[in-house]
């Protein structure tokens, strides 16, 4: 088996070499060879001019949102230059029948440019360095083979190495082309989703929820399209997948139930706009601002800069307190107690003054004072204040109002009472009374002795 495969590979390789040798002319057409060099230099110059003119325009258009496609913007001048140069070289190969020496030079230049462009595109899509370099080398090899007869020659060799499973033959060519196609499709999906996200962010007519919904739906659409394109590239018959559709559906029902549930829940949350990026929500012990609604979970940033990832399904099934659903204005209650001997009108005036002088407290609705209770040691009030930026925190507002009120109470001699208790003694033991009397006399005697002047004085 192995000897037969090696023999086939050797024979196919020998045939390719013979075909190449048959194309080598007896004399070199120096005019055509120098023309190919001139074409390469001219194409490089034209591509450089266009890239220098076009790249700043595209960078300025998407520059406001560099965080989304920063890598693409960084490589944009090189990508434009390399793609234009590669397209010109490939067009030259297709439009003119070159001698093999000139064809080698133009093919090498085209392969090098397209491989470099692919490398930069993969890097922009956050593909690892070694993976992007590896696939760029494969792309260079594939394109360069156009100079020696196209991919058919390479296909002959790689298709000779493989094995058969029933009616389907699995070869090295199938494996390499399949892996290359999958990685390329994934990179294009990630890059396309970033470009779509940047376009959505630049649209002033869409709010944050609509932008997030558009981004999520576009990602799902790109993944589905790339899946069917990959199936078509690999030559897989869709009817063969019908056998496994039942098992696949069962796997989704049990193993991926939560994943698909969170995906659908996230889309529903964005469509009904009950929770959207920028809202301030409280779910259980988590309180903070919604930063992102992802495929699996919602990211909530707390005031402690902790990021809580809450599954989308939890927000659909559990009770959620949205502080900014219809309005961003939030009322805060601040309890305060003062002594019964205080002048209550002055107390109310000082509490209103403390609230009004605190930053972030709204003037309208104005702060209000409520009498809440006659306590055991104090008259209890509640200061009602309104804010419009709950994402900046609530506890710091209470602290600021109470701090300002403390100094106002000190300036106006307003007492903040502490708990007091009256002790009523109904009966007392005679022995205890005698002991207390003795202790009292001893204390008085010690006091008199301490008052007498000493002899040294």
Give the three-class secondary structure for 417. Answer: coil
- E-strand ranges in 100-202 read 162-165, 168-171
Handedness of CA 184, 185, 188, 189 (dihedral sign): negative
Examine the fold and report which residue of 233, 257, 286 is the final residue of a domain before the chain moves on.
233
The count of domains in the chain is 3
Chain-centre distance for alpha carbon 285: 23
In a domain, 243, yes or no: no
Residue 362: other Cβ atoms inside 10 A: 16
170 shares a domain with 128: yes
Q: Which domain holds residue 353?
A: 330-411
122 and 98 in contact (C-beta within 8 Å)? no
72 found inside a domain = yes
Token pair, residue 17, equals 């070499």
**Cβ neighbour number for residue 44 with a 10 Å cutoff:** 17
118 and 213 belong to one structural domain: yes
Confirm whether 436 is domain-assigned. no
Place of tokens 């605190």: 358
Q: Which position has the token pair 């106002």?
A: 408
Partnered with residue 286 across adjacent β-strands are: 283
Pairing outcome for strands 330-338 and 379-387: antiparallel
The contacts of residue 97 (CB under 8 Å, 6+ apart) are none
Would you state the structure tokens that stand for residue 270, as one six-digit string?
């964005």
Dump the DSSP string for 187-211. HHHHHHHHHHHHHHHH-TTS-HHHH
Specify if 457 maps to a domain. Answer: no
Angle at 280 between CA 278 and CA 286, to 5 degrees: 125
The phi and psi torsions of 385 (rounded to 5 degrees) equal -125, 155
| Domain shared by 67 and 189, yes or no | yes
Residues 6 or more apart in contact with residue 290 via CB below 8 angstroms = 275, 276, 277, 278, 279, 280, 281, 298, 299, 300
For residues 376 and 229, state if they share a domain.
no
- CATH code for the domain in which residue 295 is found: 2.30.30.60
Q: What is the pTM of this model?
A: 0.47
Does residue 60 sit in the same domain as residue 96? yes
d(CA 140, CA 128): 18
Burial of 382 (0-12, 13-18, 19+ CB in 10 A): middle
End-of-domain residue from the set 322, 347, 364: 322
User: 318 and 191, same structural domain?
Assistant: no
Q: Whole-angstrom Cα distance, residue 18 to residue 98?
A: 19
Q: Could you give the C-alpha distances from 323 to 34, 104, 276, 294, in angstroms and in order?
A: 73, 68, 12, 21
Structural domain contains residue 370: yes
> Both 161 and 283 in a single domain?
no
Q: How many CA atoms lie within 13 A of 318 on its CB side?
A: 15
* Domain end position, chosen among 184, 207, 233: 233
84 lies in the same domain as 141: yes
Distance CA 133, CA 141 (A): 12
Q: Which letter does DSSP use for residue 456 in this model?
A: T
Residue count (the chain): 457
pLDDT of residue 355: 93
CA dihedral 230, 235, 237, 238 (to 10 degrees): 10
CATH number at residue 351: 3.30.70.100
Rounded CA gap, 82 and 64, in Å? 25
Same domain, 317 and 345: no
Cβ atoms of residues 258 and 194 within 8 Å: no
Q: How far apart are CA 322 and CA 438, in angstroms?
A: 69
pLDDT tens digits, one per residue of 53-68:
887 777 776 655 444 4
299 and 344 housed in the same domain: no
- The pLDDT of residue 395: 85
Angstrom distance (rounded) from CA 322 to CA 314: 14
Give the pLDDT means over successive 10-residue stretches in the chain (457 positions).
Answer: 49 52 58 84 91 79 52 76 88 78 82 86 73 78 67 59 67 73 76 77 72 77 80 64 60 66 78 80 84 82 84 83 81 91 92 92 91 89 91 87 93 82 68 73 65 51
State the pLDDT at residue 361: 92
In a domain, 18, yes or no: yes
> Would 446 be classed as within a structural domain?
no
Query: Considering only CA atoms, which of 224, 312, 321 is closest in space to residue 267?
Result: 312
Q: 400 and 376 share a domain? A: yes
Determine the Cα–Cα distance for residues 135 and 121; give it in Å rounded to an integer. 11
- Residue 206 burial by Cβ neighbours in a 10 Å radius (0-12, 13-18, 19+): middle
Whether 185 maps to a domain, the answer reads: yes
Based on the fold, state whether residues 105 and 164 are members of the same structural domain.
yes
């Amino acid at each position: 088996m192995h000897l037969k495969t090696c023999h086939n590979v050797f024979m196919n390789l020998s045939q390719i070499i013979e075909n190449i040798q048959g194309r080598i002319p007896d004399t070199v057409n120096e005019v055509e060879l120098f023309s190919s060099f001139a074409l390469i230099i001219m194409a490089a110059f034209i591509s450089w001019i266009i890239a220098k003119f076009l790249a700043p325009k595209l960078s300025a258009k998407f520059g406001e949102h560099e965080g989304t496609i920063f890598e693409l913007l960084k490589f944009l001048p090189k990508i434009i230059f390399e793609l234009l140069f590669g397209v010109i070289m490939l067009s030259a190969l297709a439009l003119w029948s070159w001698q093999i020496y000139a064809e080698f030079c133009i093919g090498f230049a085209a392969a090098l440019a397209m491989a470099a462009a692919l490398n930069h595109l993969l890097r922009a899509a956050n593909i690892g360095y070694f993976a992007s370099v590896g696939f760029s080398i494969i792309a260079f090899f594939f394109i360069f083979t156009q100079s020696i007869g196209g991919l058919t020659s390479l296909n002959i060799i790689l298709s000779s190495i493989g094995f058969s499973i029933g009616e389907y033959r699995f070869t090295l060519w199938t494996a390499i082309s399949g892996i290359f196609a999958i990685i390329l499709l994934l990179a294009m999906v990630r890059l396309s989703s970033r470009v779509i996200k940047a376009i959505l962010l630049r649209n002033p007519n869409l709010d944050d929820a609509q932008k997030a919904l558009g981004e999520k739906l576009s990602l799902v659409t790109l993944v589905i399209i790339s899946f069917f394109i990959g199936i078509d590239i690999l030559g897989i018959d869709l009817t063969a997948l019908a056998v496994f559709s039942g098992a696949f559906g069962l796997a989704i029902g049990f193993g991926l139930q939560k994943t698909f549930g969170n995906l659908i829940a996230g889309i529903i949350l964005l469509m009904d706009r009950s929770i959207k990026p920028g809202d301030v929500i409280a779910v259980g012990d988590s309180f903070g601002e919604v930063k992102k609604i992802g495929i699996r979970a919602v990211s909530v940033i707390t005031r402690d800069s902790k990021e809580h990832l809450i599954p989308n399904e939890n927000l659909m099934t559990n009770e959620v307190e949205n502080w900014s659903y219809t309005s961003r204005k939030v009322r805060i209650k601040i309890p305060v107690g003062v002594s019964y001997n205080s002048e209550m009108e002055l107390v109310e005036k000082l509490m209103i003054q403390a609230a009004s002088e605190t930053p972030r407290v709204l003037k309208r609705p104005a702060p209000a004072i409520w009498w809440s209770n006659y306590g055991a040691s104090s008259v209890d009030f509640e200061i009602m204040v309104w804010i419009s930026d709950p994402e900046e925190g609530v506890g710091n507002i209470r602290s600021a109002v109470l701090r300002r009120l403390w100094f106002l109470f000190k300036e106006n001699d307003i007492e903040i009472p502490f708990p007091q208790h009256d002790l009523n003694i109904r009966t007392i033991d005679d022995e205890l009374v005698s002991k207390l009397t003795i202790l009292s006399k001893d204390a008085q005697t010690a006091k008199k002795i301490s008052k007498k002047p000493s002899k040294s004085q």
